[in-house]
Amino acid sequence: MNKVKDGSCPAVYGSELAIRPLESKDLPEVMNIELQGYSHPWTERIFLDCFKPGYRLWGINENRVLVGYAVVSYVLDEAHLLNLCVHPGYRGQGVGRLLLRHLIGEAARENMNQILLEVRLSNNIASKLYRKEGFEEIGRRPRYYPAASGWEDARVMALLLQS
């Protein structure tokens, strides 16, 4: 388990945070966060389908309690961030940034050339985080996300890891 202490995220500096690979036994905690985090959450079946080669699932714990997670798909030399969610009680404290930095570091270590992701156009907080971490908008996906009033477009973002 990687102990995390990062002075660039002062709200969590000194906290007992640990990032580790998720296991299927973590699904109840993952689903608890997922259901609180999204209006249209993933199902348990979707998460179970990600516990296979080609995926990386990371959890961030505080004192052994899961407070966030990320799901990344690896295809050839490209990592695709599929889901990153932080428990509502831990948002705005740098937990998501630490998790994002971890998965970026792991993708670079595994020789991925870039990381792609989609984010709701309305999710300004996440878009701002991704930009601050070096992601750039490369396009849009019309009607990508289900929304209360129909569908919402996605902003497609990329981070080049190698040239």
Encode pLDDT of 17-42 as tens digits.
999 999 999 999 999 999 999 889 99
Catalytic residue check, 118: yes
Task: Please report, for the chain, the start and end positions of each structural domain, with discontinuous segments joined by +.
Answer: 2-160
Instruction: Taking the CA atoms of 114, 13, 3 and 94 in sequence, report the sign of the dihedral they define.
Output: negative
Q: What are the residues whose beta carbons fall under 8 Å from the beta carbon of 21, sequence distance 6 or more?
A: 56, 57, 58, 59
Selecting among 34, 62, 106, 130, the annotated active-site residue is 130
The CATH topology of domain 2-160 is Aminopeptidase (3.40.630)
Which of the residues in the chain have pLDDT under 70? 1-15, 163
Tell me which residue of 124, 74, 77, 64 sits closest to 103, measured CA to CA.
Answer: 74
Q: Which of 29, 44, 78, 118 is catalytic?
A: 118
